[in-house]
Amino acid sequence: MSPITPGSSNGGPQPATSRDIYTPNDSEDDDITSQPQHDEAVFAEDPFDQRSTEPITFKRKQKQPARFSLSNIFSGRNSSTPQRSTSQQPNTAHSLREWTDTATHQRSTSTHADINGFKEDGPLDWYVEGPGRRVAYDDLTAIDWVFEYMKERQRKRLLYSTDQGLLGHLRQILDGSHVWAVLVITGVAVGLIAACIDIASDWLGDLKLGYCKSDQGANQFYLNRNFCCWGHEDFSQCIGWVPWRTALGISSRGGGYVMEYFFFVMFSVLFASCACILVRSFAPYAKHSGIPEIKTVLGGFVMKRFMGGWTLAIKSIGLCLAVSSGMWLGKEGPLVHVACCCANIIMKPFDSLNQNEARKREVLSAAAAAGISVAFGAPIGGVLFCLEQLSYYFPDRTMWQSFVCATIAAVTLQALDPFHTGKIVLYQVTYTREWHRFEIMFFMILGILGGVYGGLFIKLNMRIARWRKSRGWNFPILEVAFIAILTAMINFPNKFMRAQSSELVYQLFAECATTTDDQLDLCKTGAASFGVIALLLMAAVMGFFLASLSFGLEIPAGIILPSLAIGALFGRALGIGVEMWQSAYPGFFLFESCDPDIPCITPATYAIIGAASALGGATRMTISIVVIMFELTGALTYVIPIMIAVMLSKWCGDIFGKRGIYESWIHLNEYPFLDHKDDKPPPDVPASKIMTNVDDLTVIPAVGHTIETLKSLLIHTRYRGFPVVLDTSNPILLGYISRNELSYALESSSATRNLPPETQAFFVHQPFADPHETFDLRPWMDQTPITLNSRISFSIVLGMFQKLGLRYVLFVHKGNLKGLLTKKDVWFVLNGVESRREKGLGDGPLREATNSDEIGLLSPNPSDEDMDLVEGRQSLESL
């Protein structure tokens, strides 16, 4: 145990402080030291003033029975309640910040004001006796879920106790409408942004092949090929669309092919490089899909600027460029990040949401459903996607809020109709034929292939990502340009790979009976089908390797659409093969149920089932994929085949590893995400062998400090917080104070009260101390931290971290501090042990101690392997 150097002092209570300080907020504009206008209010009252006529208590004040009168309808309080003076009864406050302003006004108007003047069980006693005052969370730290929900309950308690009568009820309704206003505006904004991304990416993608010039010769360069050739069933007859060979006047077939090849590669490299430059220059968090980071944020982690305005702008623009480059990337996953950015920005004017990290994450969970809703035209699938894949805490009200936000986003996109087809997404199709029982066998094969694809894709993508992190050089823009060149050179010769991913998926999903323009020659029959199958399989294999290379580059990119495309490619190939078999041998016993005059096999259904199985294998999702595919096709009869394929794909994928692609990236980036859905058994050891022992902690004794010594402690240590004990020789736990609160309190004491550096500071009540010459830090200390017995099982501790969202746990025995465990400690133990087991190194620090005093992760004689694990584990620095 490493206490700070004590000084001699007689502690005492500090002058009065206000009832609140800043609430946590992870917005990019937060700076807790840049608002000196609140410093005076912070120290406006003394919560320990002995002159108070009413004791501080948690007990709820009993209200007097209300008596009806006309004045009570419009008043904010009951007329039967004894009235207090105007100086002591504040106007109705609705936020913790307003309590500070009220307290400051009371002190300036009445020197004998009661510190509990406006309510005996107000927020003052909660801050003093409970978890203490808090300031904004640091970047890359965990939030305190327990504290955030306590703060929200206290806010509502004050709101409902002070707002009575008609106006009070109106204020309560207005307060409850904040979340719905945010969700409605978010849904509309996401629909608008998704429509713009669809239009821009389609136009840029077609620009690689040519440009539009109307039949009359007018310049319509802004139109993509579909709009330019609107009304033409065969695009080859459209004279308004000008390929680059025609624009340059090249008449030879070989020269025209080379020129179109050149323009295709040039524009692909240009778009991909621009996307990478934008991300590197303006918004580093705009890269990748963003779903692993969203999962981590919703789990209680703070990542400032991840959902800011610059991230939203660069993500939207970069997404258009990256998708139109032709790389094997999609925009469906990043749209979830876009939706969360919109919600985070729209929440800023609403303090009841923006200043509470727990409520903010509920709104972000609801907003994420809008991203999937506009990506697939599946509002219900979006809600289930959030429930199954994203959300860490998903109460019933969040499900209803998610549905509302997803529905509004889908309705907005439907009203804008960016494709002028009446469809929300380009590859939305409808099936008219039913399936036969013998096809179940082929659907099961697709499910197995989807699971194998998902498992191999995750393995290969993780190997490439680890190589990128471990290599000694890093040139992301050149890397993106090189892979874009490689992708374009491979894509152009194959007509299936040359098409945009959304157009490819639509053609693969469409039935030949309803297709008017077979641009990819998928409906050929006879011997020509062998060539189609070969091209489909080649495109699927090459797409697998290109997607593994591309996913992880520093550009906005998702993996959902590439997985759908790859699954649809091998699914369509299998469907065409089965169709050829049935046509060649119609009397085979498997095909006895087929009607002679009606096509028996529909290859398009194999494509959509293959797509669902590939997506399930890559992401390990199940229910949400089934619902999304049902909403895409509208064919209820195909729900059972999709369910069977997705079930088998998950089972086969789990053979390669339990983690999906998003969980694998969370593990790779070492985000402190504790998945409560993980059924892997934790190490069966007591917490005493996992925790950081008290002898290895820097603790703060309750007395014997000055402001100068505490500032010196902050300078010479990097720990995120410090346990407070009665004395180093008798370490009875009194509480816990984080680095942020201690630093802010010390700075405010010097700035506001002009206390000298030698001023005595203490963390325990000192009845004989002069409050004007000492500094009481109790209001800033968490006096009710979560504590457990040091002999408790680690599995119980893990359950508490997962289900309560704790930042840290202090371990005691008979009141004496024994150790500490943080969220990142738990994550490191779980994942560090797993990595060691994969390498065949055993459990390492979880081995049985050879000495009864040798407990915790820091042992006297650790091995080299143990030190590698211990050095990466910064206990208190990772709260």
Least confident window among 134-143, 363-372, 473-482: 134-143
* pLDDT value of position 217: 54
pLDDT surpasses 90 at 431: no
Residue partners of 100: CB distance under 8 A and separation at least 6: 18, 19, 20, 21, 38, 41, 42, 44
* Domain-embedded: residue 103: no
For residue 158, what pLDDT band results from cuts at 50, 70 and 90?
confident
* pLDDT value of position 2: 61
For residue 872, what pLDDT band results from cuts at 50, 70 and 90?
very low
* pLDDT value of position 215: 60
Report which residue type is found at 619: T
For residue 347, what pLDDT band results from cuts at 50, 70 and 90?
very high
When the pLDDT of each residue in the chain is averaged and rounded to a whole number, the result is: 79
Q: What is the 3-state secondary structure of 787-823?
A: EEECCCEHHHHHHHHHHHCCCEEEEEECCEEEEEEEH
Structure tokens belonging to residue 105? 């006004």
* Domain-embedded: residue 572: yes
For residue 836, what pLDDT band results from cuts at 50, 70 and 90?
low
What would the mean pLDDT of 633-640 be, rounded to a whole number?
A: 81
Report pLDDT digits (tens) over 383-403.
999 988 888 878 888 899 999
Indicate whether 591 and 734 sit together in one domain: no
Rg over CA atoms, the chain: 32
* pLDDT value of position 417: 85
Indicate whether 375 and 462 sit together in one domain: no
* pLDDT value of position 265: 94
* pLDDT value of position 213: 81
For residue 556, what pLDDT band results from cuts at 50, 70 and 90?
very high
Asked if residue 644 lies in contact with residue 444, where contact means CB atoms within 8 angstroms, the answer is: yes
Residue partners of 786: CB distance under 8 A and separation at least 6: 146, 800, 804, 806, 808, 809, 810
* pLDDT value of position 607: 93
Indicate whether 748 and 787 sit together in one domain: yes
What would the mean pLDDT of 805-830 be, rounded to a whole number?
A: 90
Helix (H, G, I), strand (E, B), or coil: what is residue 241?
strand
* Domain-embedded: residue 430: no
For residue 803, what pLDDT band results from cuts at 50, 70 and 90?
confident
What would the mean pLDDT of 764-770 be, rounded to a whole number?
A: 85
More confident residue, 100 or 278: 278
Indicate whether 458 and 575 sit together in one domain: yes
Least confident window among 155-159, 294-298, 349-353, 517-521: 517-521
Q: Which of 226-230, 673-677, 765-769, 874-878 has the highest mean pLDDT?
A: 765-769
Mark residue 195 as left, alpha or beta (left: phi above 0; alpha: psi -120 to 50; beta: remaining).
Answer: alpha
Indicate whether 453 and 384 sit together in one domain: no
* pLDDT value of position 526: 75
For residue 420, what pLDDT band results from cuts at 50, 70 and 90?
confident
More confident residue, 591 or 870: 591
More confident residue, 364 or 214: 364
Residue partners of 527: CB distance under 8 A and separation at least 6: none
CATH number of the CATH domain containing 345:
1.10.3080.10
pLDDT surpasses 80 at 44: no
pLDDT surpasses 60 at 237: yes
Mark residue 805 as left, alpha or beta (left: phi above 0; alpha: psi -120 to 50; beta: remaining).
Answer: left
Indicate whether 245 and 392 sit together in one domain: yes
Packing angle of the helix pair 357-376, 145-162 (nearest 10 deg): 100
User: Over pLDDT 70: what percentage of the chain?
Assistant: 78
* pLDDT value of position 804: 87
* Domain-embedded: residue 206: yes
Least confident window among 170-184, 235-249, 291-305, 523-537: 235-249
User: Over pLDDT 90: what percentage of the chain?
Assistant: 41
Indicate whether 563 and 515 sit together in one domain: yes
- Indicate if the alpha-carbon torsion angle 494, 496, 498, 501 is positive or negative: negative
pLDDT surpasses 60 at 20: no
For residue 249, what pLDDT band results from cuts at 50, 70 and 90?
confident
What would the mean pLDDT of 278-303 be, rounded to a whole number?
A: 93
* pLDDT value of position 117: 36
* Domain-embedded: residue 96: no
pLDDT surpasses 90 at 261: yes
Indicate whether 706 and 629 sit together in one domain: no
Indicate whether 197 and 237 sit together in one domain: yes
pLDDT surpasses 80 at 72: no
Per-residue exposure over 549-571, b if at least 16 CB sit within 10 Å of its own CB, e if not: bbbbbbbbbbbbbbbbbbbbbbb
Q: Given the DSSP bridges, would you call strands 787-789 and 774-776 parallel, antiparallel or unpaired? A: unpaired
Q: Which long-range contacts (CB under 8 A, 24 or more apart) does 777-780 make?
A: 777/14, 777/737, 777/742, 777/745, 778/48, 778/128, 778/132, 779/17, 779/47, 779/127, 779/128, 779/132, 779/133, 780/132, 780/133, 780/737, 780/741, 780/742, 780/744, 780/745
* Domain-embedded: residue 129: no
pLDDT surpasses 80 at 529: yes
Asked if residue 764 lies in contact with residue 726, where contact means CB atoms within 8 angstroms, the answer is: yes
Total of domains in the chain: 3
Report pLDDT digits (tens) over 91-129.
433 443 443 343 334 433 333 333 333 334 444 444 455
For residue 866, what pLDDT band results from cuts at 50, 70 and 90?
very low
* pLDDT value of position 633: 78
* Domain-embedded: residue 762: yes
* pLDDT value of position 85: 40
Indicate whether 456 and 359 sit together in one domain: no
CATH number of the CATH domain containing 726:
3.10.580.10
More confident residue, 464 or 62: 464
For residue 421, what pLDDT band results from cuts at 50, 70 and 90?
confident
Range of the domain at 748: 687-878
pLDDT surpasses 70 at 592: yes
* pLDDT value of position 436: 87
Question: DSSP readout, 34-88?
Answer: S-GGGHHHHTSS-TT-TT-SS----SPPPPPPP---HHHHHSSS-TTSPP--TTT
Indicate whether 778 and 747 sit together in one domain: yes
Q: Which of 44-53, 60-69, 404-413 has the highest mean pLDDT?
A: 404-413
Asked if residue 403 lies in contact with residue 373, where contact means CB atoms within 8 angstroms, the answer is: no
Packing angle of the helix pair 357-376, 165-207 (nearest 10 deg): 40
Indicate whether 565 and 708 sit together in one domain: no
* Domain-embedded: residue 785: yes
Distance in Å from the first CA to the final CA of the chain: 19
For residue 89, what pLDDT band results from cuts at 50, 70 and 90?
very low
Least confident window among 280-284, 286-290, 425-429, 554-558: 425-429
For residue 49, what pLDDT band results from cuts at 50, 70 and 90?
very low
